[in-house]
Amino acid sequence: MPRIEKVITIFVGSPSDVVEERIILEEVVKDINHQWSKSLKIRFELLKWETDTHPDIGKYPQEVINSQIENDFDIFIGIFWTRFGTQTENAGSGTEEEYNRVYERYKNIGNVNICIYFKDMAVSISKIDPEQLAKINAFKSKIIGQGVLYCQFNRSDDFKNIIRSHLEQILQKKVPDTNSDMVTTEKKNEDQIEEERGLLDYVDIIYENIDNIKPILFQMKSDQELLQSGLNEHTNKLNLIHYSYPNSRGTVNRIINSITFELSNYNNKFKITLDQLSSCSDLIFTNFHRAFLIAKAFPSENDDQLAEIKNCLLPSIDQLKSFEGTIDSVISIIKTIPPIKSNFISAQKKCIGLMSKFKTIIQSILDSINIEYRDESIKR
């Protein structure tokens, strides 16, 4: 069946000394698309001069790039480290010219995200060009004056976690727009179409959403195990410091900042998966109810079909039940961490709130099954 997807385009601009970060960005985009594109019907497309331009001639090289990559992408990502780049006819470097173009568009139209990153990892003095560093610092001052909030990172591994978190936050904000953009005749004429749907139509919808739920539950389980493992590690470190080094304020700050980052990253991902789980489960049980009503009118012909659907639902139901103990365990760990910093307290409250919502969704699904179908094979 053809799938409609909304494409969010990302253009990355940078000097030549952040090749590793450009590769990481491409890997993160592929990973996010693999994880979310099917369930959210939305994906990222990364534009780079290396892959999206061809040799040609213009007034100067950057002008050729500008002419081939139109200034209509959704997200601009700029990455800097020790180099600012080679001056062009219109700016201090090609990357600055790319930034200037998108900033002008932002001022006039406003429909673009601008994300600037500065790598702050130490480098050998022999590799430092004072003129290049001066240009980078001037550029920082310039964009601050224009209202840009930039992000600094130390290592490439940090960048991987940060850029993924930021892209998922942007993705989350784009999802409602996607849903409204893809309102179809089917949605507009729902009542009329419901009258024309038969048992097999409902069965198709049920199976499609059962397939959609499986990777969502798998991702939830994987994310929760990773969070639980990280929280255990961090809390063990805090306990050691608490008892052995009561004055280690800097170390405690670093651990709490790490916990806060992991919680915030988890919260962003968890909110998306919760919304998807809720949507899929609603479609499954709404259409199961409709199929159930048809089957009751013609029991001898449709009992086998309903029994088959119930059997397909069982693994997902069992997996949902298994989450309840894990959720309580994670909440218990989070609550043991003292409220040391405001940003941690905020992330802590949000995480507990999302997990409580998850428990409510699980209970709602199980209640729907027990009330609607009263079947021992479903209850187990």
- The one-letter code for the residue type at 331 is I
For residue 80, give both structure tokens: 């800097």
189-379 has which CATH code? 1.20.1050.20
Residue 220 CA to its chain's centroid (Å): 13
Give Cβ neighbours of residue 334 (< 8 Å, ≥ 6 apart): 231, 263, 348, 351, 352
pLDDT of residue 138: 95
What's the CA gap between 228 and 351, in Å, rounded?
12
pLDDT of residue 230: 84
What's the CA gap between 147 and 151, in Å, rounded?
13
What's the CA gap between 335 and 107, in Å, rounded?
44
Q: How far is CA 126 from CA 82, 123, 290, 334, in A?
A: 12, 8, 72, 46
Exposed / middle / buried, residue 14 (Cβ in 10 Å: 0-12, 13-18, 19+):
buried
What's the CA gap between 182 and 41, in Å, rounded?
10
Q: How far is CA 308 from CA 203, 225, 288, 331, in A?
A: 10, 32, 12, 36
**Which of these, 83, 103, 80, lies nearest to 159 by C-alpha position?**
80
All structural domains of the chain with their residue ranges: 6-170, 189-379
Residue 45 near residue 7 (C-beta atoms within 8 A): yes
pLDDT of residue 186: 42
pTM of the model: 0.56
Q: Which CATH class is domain 6-170?
A: alpha beta
Q: What is the DSSP letter of 126?
A: G
Mean pLDDT in consecutive groups of 10 residues from the start of the chain, 380 residues? 78 94 94 82 90 90 90 94 93 95 91 93 84 94 92 88 88 62 43 62 78 78 82 82 63 82 81 78 76 67 64 70 75 80 84 83 68 44
- The one-letter code for the residue type at 124 is S
Q: How far is CA 89 from CA 60, 133, 139, 142, 377, in A?
A: 8, 20, 17, 19, 73
Q: How far is CA 165 from CA 90, 97, 169, in A?
A: 33, 27, 6
What's the CA gap between 284 and 203, in Å, rounded?
9
Exposed / middle / buried, residue 139 (Cβ in 10 Å: 0-12, 13-18, 19+):
buried
Give Cβ neighbours of residue 169 (< 8 Å, ≥ 6 apart): 268
User: Which residue(s) pair with 47 in the sheet?
Assistant: 11
**Which of these, 105, 100, 133, lies nearest to 119 by C-alpha position?**
133
